[in-house]
Each structure stands twice: as structure tokens, then as C-alpha cells.
Structure 1
Amino acid sequence: MARRRAGLVPSLQALAAQAGRAVQGWPWWLQATAVYFAARLVSACIFMAAALHQGPNPWLPAKPDYWNFINIWDARWYGQVIAGGYPSVLPTDAAGNVQENAWAFYPLFPALAGGLSRLTGLVPAASLTIIAMLAGWGAALVVYILFRHKAAPASALWGVAFFATFPVSAILQVPYAESLSLLLLAAALLLVVRRQYLWAIPVVVLLCLSRPVGVPFAAMLGLVLLRHLWERFGARQAGNGQREGTHSNGDLAALAALTAAGGAMALAWPAAAWAATGDIQAYTKTETVWRGHDLVPFKPWFDTGVDLFGPVLGLLAPVVFVALFGAMLFLPPVRQLGVELRLWCACYMGYLVVFLHPQTSTFRMLLPLFPLALGAVLVSGSRAYRWTVVTMFLLLQIVWIVWLWAWAQLPGGGDYPP
């Protein structure tokens, strides 16, 4: 019996090696597709297992099926947008405080799903799910192409694996706008890396209508523009012997146009809320409903730090976090991502630190930092290391789904949002 078991291990290893060689012969898009859908299958199994333990909740009876279980939380808001659009008058309570409403949810995702429902007759929940799944698949393919500009094929594919198995990556298959926004973000970053700035303009326009990422993206574009202006003009005038920048005047004009378009579109949705409701603060008032107090830049991070670590360490915690994140961007594996991707990560994290109220939804909002997945891959070429990361991501995905997606009422009412 011991001999049979001993012989079984080499046989399994040989089978795994043979399967690996077979996959390596597939075209890149099929490899990335296989990685993405394998990850989504694992996530689906975790969702179904969690649904079996789901008790009574605000949306469904206990133990819902998979399709109903993934259509809770913000998915219901997108369904409401499809059904009734956005309110022309902000809902308020008896004291005049703005209440939760649809203006917090950007229009592109429900618009596409609503169009699909009208075209096919599908119910909005099904259309939202289909759009999310297809967009997530597209994002995985574009992420691979983007990573290939910075790494070899094997490392780029591992980067897709890290992206597809990240602890909150299950959000890519539920009716949330994250997958669509990530597809557009990856496409916009790819076009910027390729210096196809004019082609990037329509992509950035759509990106700014998918989720609130327009401000950090415009900031990143502005910094890239300043860097290339300095390379072309500043360094030469300074007489420090540096060569002239690689961007022509036409390139700089196109990048400036893209930056202007990004900056304008970053304000488009708040402006639309103002135009529809007559309240210049309609969008910010709506967004801050979920945090329970007015928007004060930086302050929520220090408040959360004090709550978690006390009055002294709590005030230092956000500063230490920002310093560590900044230092990470200069580590050799991350430096291989190039200037544009590193600037995007810096601007997006800066945006979160300035405007975000740290809470359990913060984990989900880290997905736009996906370029760091390739940096994590490049830390080591060891397969043991990379498989360990994927395994840990999947285990943490169980934690995220069971802790945050599944609903369980807290003692004070409600539950932590995913």
C-alpha cells in the first residue's frame, strides 16, 4: 500500500507537468481566459457554500440560490436605476438630511444592462450579471496585454492569476460596476503606456462614467504630461546634459488633450447630479450619506486610526501607511511597472487617502491598484511562491465572502457592507 501511494505522487506530478505543457501551447488569450474562468468557478463555489448558510436578510429568504445571492447589496441599486432612473429631487428625512439614493451609482453600467434588457427581454438582474461577467473577462485579457508590455508571457499570465484570485475579486462576477470600470481602466492605461493618447480619450470618457476614478486618473495624466514636458524642454534649458524627451510636439499636444478631457469628465457626474436636482452638492451629499457625516479630507483616516490604535498610535498610523505605500512604489519589482502604472497607483491611493472613509468597502476599492499584481509576481520567479500567493488569496476570498457578502445582522442593526 505504501509503495502504491509513493508511486502515486510522481504520477500526479507528471500529470500536472503534462497539463502545464499543454496549456503553454495555447494562444495567450485562451490561457488568460482559462485562468480567469477557473478563478470565477472557485468564487462561485464559495458563494454557493456561503449561500447555504445565509439566514434571513433584507432582500431574500434564507438559503437563496447562487443567482439571487449575488444580486444583493448594491446590485439592487443598479436595478433601481434601470427601473426608475435618477431622482430629480434628493430624498430627505424629516430633519432635511439627504437619504441614500441612486446618484451614488454611476450611469454606464446600468445603462448598458438596461439596453441589454430591452434588446433581449432579460430581467435587469440577469443583464447586470452578464455585463459584469463579460466585462471581467475582457478586463483579464486587457490586463494580460498591459502586463506583457512590462514582463515576459509567463509572468504576465501569473499577474492575471493574482488579479483574478485577489481576495475581493469575487466582485468581478456580481452585478457591481467594478468589472466594467476595471476593463476601461486597464484599456486606458494600456493606451497611455502605448502613447496612443487620442485613442484613449473615448475610453477615458466612458471610464469616468463607470465609477468615481476620474479624479485620480486625471491627476496621473497631469503628472505624466509634466514629466514629458520637463524631459523635452526643462532639462534642455537647465543645461544638465540630459537628452531631449522622447515625446514630439504632437505627442505632447495629444497628451494635453487627453489630460483636459480626463479632468473635465472627472467632474461630469457631479455636474449631472447638480443639473438634474438643482443642488450643486447633490453628488457629495449623496456619497456622504453612507459614511454618516460630511466630507472632510483626510480626517476619516485619522479617526479610524484612533479607533483602532488609540489616540497616539492612531494619529501616526495613516502617516506610516502612506510612507510604506510610497516606499513600496520604489522597490525593484514595482519599478519594473514603469512610470505611468506607478503614478496611477500613487494617484489612486492618494485619492483614497484624501476622500475615502475607511470601512469594510475599502477592500473592494483596492482593485484599481491591480498593476501591483504584476509587481507582486516579479518579487520572485519561484512557482512555490506564486502558488502560495494564489492559495492565500483564495483562502482570504472565503473570508471576504463569508464575512462581508453574506448578511448577518450586527447587534446595533445592519451589517458591514462588502
Structure 2
Amino acid sequence: MSSRLAAAPWWVQTLVVWAASRAWAWAVFSTVGRQQGPGPWGDGPLGYLGFTGTWDSDWYERIAREGYPASLPRDADGRVQENAWAFYPVFPLLVRTVTAVTGTGWDATASAVSLAASLGAFLLVHRLFLRLAPPSTARWGLVLVGFNPVAPVLQVPYAEALHLLLLAAALLLTAQGRHLAAAPVVVVMCLTRPAGVPFAAALGITWLVRTVRRHRAGRLRRAVDAVDGLLGLAVLSCGAALAWPAIAWAVTGEPTAYTDTETVWRGGGALQPVVPWFDAATGLFGPVLGLVAPALLVVGGAGLLRARVVRERLDLLARVWVASYAVYLLLFLHPQTSTFRLLLPLFPLALPLAAVSDSRAYRVACAVSGAVLQLVWVGWLWHWKQLPGGGDYPP
């Protein structure tokens, strides 16, 4: 970072990082979009808005136009088919509201909403990092968030940018002890992306650890003193995490409407915790290494969270959030190419990554590597290339 930028107010630094990262992502999408051949969204090269408005953007647009089905669509054999209940409502309904006011089309409006949300997310992430690290490290942590391999998704018609904004706000407000202010943020966040369960777990575990520490320090004289704002926020988060499945049940009349819809994208069948990781690993590495790989992944993740730089740079809540979300993915995620995008909520790890070394060369190398991997990610997954068996890997 130049000395002039380092001397600027924190919000100016944020704007510079945001603008630079969004301009690079625009260049990546524009470049790859011009290489697009015939596919589901056109017969040849696509412009920026046309290219970014593909994949799940179609589902969000359909929800904005039509809402959610009153019953689950099924095939002749009674199996649930792909439908809108897999997608949470806040982003498409927000875009529909903005579209009704401005009269603009879906692609431009949805992209603009995501872009604006990404700016808010950058500001809040920077504020959160400034609580945890010196200004230079916080600034570079923000750079690594903005140039991480899947950061281009923060300006497309997906809910990721809005969720990152709400997640950063919830973490920041909770860290500041502003639990009442965090409550509506958490509720909206739980209706934006399916990460309410790990967030509720993170709040509950953080409350438990803090309560035990207070008790051991002799600062908790009565059990009732343990009932505080953090516990209340954790309980609220539990309810909010279950809100969307409950809404799907209420509208369709089927208790498992949401989970049945989610499993359609996994090939159908019952929701099986953990097992898909072993199935995917066996397919990639064979029957022996496939059984070992998930265990190694867990050991590596635990070692990462115990690393000195992570413990020094992240507070208890941030560490527990990272651990809770990782466990949630391990339990319920069906690993596939979309997994890369679903790692975005682990953004607090960018701060200790920046803190590994204060060498400018190291930090620039990390940022440049992420920027190059954005080209790989968009070129590999966003760019439609039909597979021999039909379809393509989703981003």
C-alpha cells in the first residue's frame, strides 16, 4: 500500500480497495464472457450483464417475478423436482422492490443491488478487522477478501454480497456488545442465505465459553447473571435459522419441503450428514484415500484454528464462527464445484492470512494469486461448457 493511501481515513482506504477489486472482477467477467459459446443463455459471446446474469440468477429472477410455488413440483414417479424453495427470499424480494421503484430490468437492478451490498460489506469487514488488528494488517486483510478467488460473485445477481454485508454487521455488532441492534440483522441474514444454523451455534458456544470463564474468575455469582444479551441473541438466531424451512412447510403443507428441495440438487434421496464428503473423496482419490481425505481435512482445519496467528488475530466469536460454519458444511454440504463459493463466509481467515508476515512482497503475492485464481474460477465454472453427459459444473 502506498503511504498516501495508508494515511487516508479508513473509509477512503475501503473505497479504494472495493473499487479496485470490483474493477478487476468486471474485467474478468467481461473477458471470459466474450469467449462464451452457445449455451442455455445465448448462442454466443455475452456482455457483462448478460454473462453475470446466468446460473442461479435465473432462479432469483423467477422468484422476483412469480414468488414461490404453493406445492412442490413432482415428476410422474412422485419425486420432488428443482424449485424455488431452495433459494432464500430477501435478495430477490429486495431487487423486486427496487425494480418496482426504478422501472429498471432484472440484470441491471440485481447487479446494482449486489454491488451496493458489496460496498457495505467491505466497509463493515474493514471496521471488524480494525477491531482485531493494526491498521496495516486490517487493510491487507480487506484486500485479501476483495481479491479472494470467488470474490467476483459479490457483484452478480446472487445473494452472496448481501449475506456478507449482514454477516459482517452481525459479527461486528455482537463483538461490540450491541445485541439488541444485532437482532434484526440476524433475522434478515437468516432469510438471505442458509447459514443461520452455524451462526446460532457460534453465538451459543461463545456465550457458553464466556460464561464458564466468568464463573471461574468469580464474576458470576448467580445463575441468573448468565442470562444476558448474547444468550438472547443466540436463542433468537435459533428461531430465525428455522424460519425458512417453517415457512416452506406452512405454504406447501409439507414438513420437509425445504430439505426435500435441497436434496434434489444432490440427486434426490434423504439428507445424509457427512456421507457425501466420503462419497466425493472416494470418487476423487479412490477407496482408500477417499476414506482418509475427509479425516485429514478435519485435522487440517482444527490445526488451522489452533495456529498462533489465528488465535492472536481473531477474537473468540470470529474463531467460533469459522469453526461452526466449517462443521456445518461438513455435516450438511454435498461437496461439488459450488463448494468454492460457499466458503466465502469464512472471510475472517483473511485477516490472519495477512498477518502471517508484514512483508509487502508476501501480501502482494497473496492478493495477486487470488486475482489470478478469479480468472480460473470464472473461466472454469461460470463459463458454460457442456459436459459429455449434458449440463455443466455450476459455480
TM-score range, shorter chain: over 0.9
Partner of 1:45: 27
Greater displacement, 355-364 / 284-293: 284-293
Residues 352-396 of structure 1 deviation map (CA, whole Å, 9 limit, x = unaligned) = 000000000000000000000001011110000000001111111
Partner of 1:27: 9
Partner of 1:13: none
User: What is the alpha-carbon distance in structure 2 between the residues aligned to residue 254 and residue 52 of structure 1?
Assistant: 52
Matched, 1:415 2:387: no
Partner of 2:142: 160
1:61 is displaced (CA, Å) by 2.6
User: What is the alpha-carbon distance in structure 2 between the residues aligned to residue 182 and residue 269 of structure 1?
Assistant: 19
Partner of 1:344: 321
Corresponding residue SS for 2:228: helix
Out of 263, 274, 281, the position equivalent to 1:298 is 274
Corresponding residue SS for 1:413: coil
Structure 1 residue ranges without an equivalent (≥5):
1-16, 236-241
User: What is the alpha-carbon distance in structure 2 between the residues aligned to residue 32 and residue 246 of structure 1?
Assistant: 44
User: What is the alpha-carbon distance in structure 1 between the residues aligned to residue 6 and residue 311 of structure 2?
Assistant: 27
1:137 is displaced (CA, Å) by 0.8
Greater displacement, 247-256 / 102-111: 247-256
Q: Is the 8 A contact 1:91 1:101 kept in 2?
A: yes
Higher relative contact order, structure no. (Cα contacts within 8 Å, ≥ 6 residues apart): 2
Identity score, percent: 48
1:227 is displaced (CA, Å) by 1.1
Partner of 1:261: 236
Matched, 1:383 2:360: yes
The within-5 A match list for 1:162-311 is 162-233=144-215, 235=216, 242-244=217-219, 252-294=227-269, 295-311=271-287
User: What is the alpha-carbon distance in structure 2 between the residues aligned to residue 205 and residue 247 of structure 1?
Assistant: 30
1:96 is displaced (CA, Å) by 1.0
Q: Size of the alignment, in residue pairs? A: 393
Corresponding residue SS for 1:360: coil
Corresponding residue SS for 2:287: coil
Corresponding residue SS for 1:122: coil
Residues 207-256 of structure 1 deviation map (CA, whole Å, 9 limit, x = unaligned) = 101000000000001101111221233x2xxxxxx453699977842111
Greater displacement, 22-31 / 248-257: 248-257
Corresponding residue SS for 1:94: coil
User: What is the alpha-carbon distance in structure 2 between the residues aligned to residue 328 and residue 56 of structure 1?
Assistant: 43
Residues 330-352 of structure 1 deviation map (CA, whole Å, 9 limit, x = unaligned) = 11111020111000000000000
1:324 is displaced (CA, Å) by 0.7
Partner of 2:100: 118
Structure 2 residue ranges without an equivalent (≥5):
none
1:299 is displaced (CA, Å) by 0.2
User: What is the alpha-carbon distance in structure 2 between the residues aligned to residue 369 and residue 246 of structure 1?
Assistant: 36
The structure-2 alpha-carbon separation of the partners of 1:96 and 1:190, relative to structure 1 and needing over 3 Å to count, comes to same
Q: Is the 8 A contact 1:217 1:262 kept in 2?
A: yes
User: What is the alpha-carbon distance in structure 2 between the residues aligned to residue 157 and residue 61 of structure 1?
Assistant: 42
User: What is the alpha-carbon distance in structure 2 between the residues aligned to residue 228 and residue 395 of structure 1?
Assistant: 41
Greater gyration radius? 1
Partner of 2:302: 326
RMSD of aligned residue pairs (Cα, Å) = 1.6
Corresponding residue SS for 1:409: coil
1:26 is displaced (CA, Å) by 2.1
The structure-2 alpha-carbon separation of the partners of 1:229 and 1:84, relative to structure 1 and needing over 3 Å to count, comes to same
Matched, 1:91 2:91: no
Q: Is the 8 A contact 2:107 2:157 kept in 1?
A: yes
Out of 62, 72, 78, the position equivalent to 2:60 is 78
TM-score by length of 1: 0.92
The structure-2 alpha-carbon separation of the partners of 1:283 and 1:24, relative to structure 1 and needing over 3 Å to count, comes to same
Residues 303-343 of structure 1 deviation map (CA, whole Å, 9 limit, x = unaligned) = 01111111111111101101110111011111020111000
The within-5 A match list for 1:99-118 is 99-118=81-100
Q: Is the 8 A contact 2:187 2:240 kept in 1?
A: yes
Corresponding residue SS for 1:149: helix
TM-score by length of 2: 0.97
Q: Is the 8 A contact 1:229 1:252 kept in 2?
A: no
Q: Is the 8 A contact 2:220 2:226 kept in 1?
A: no
The AA in structure 1 aligned to 2:378 is I
User: What is the alpha-carbon distance in structure 1 between the residues aligned to residue 358 and residue 224 of structure 2?
Assistant: 40
Q: Is the 8 A contact 1:100 1:286 kept in 2?
A: yes
Corresponding residue SS for 2:91: helix
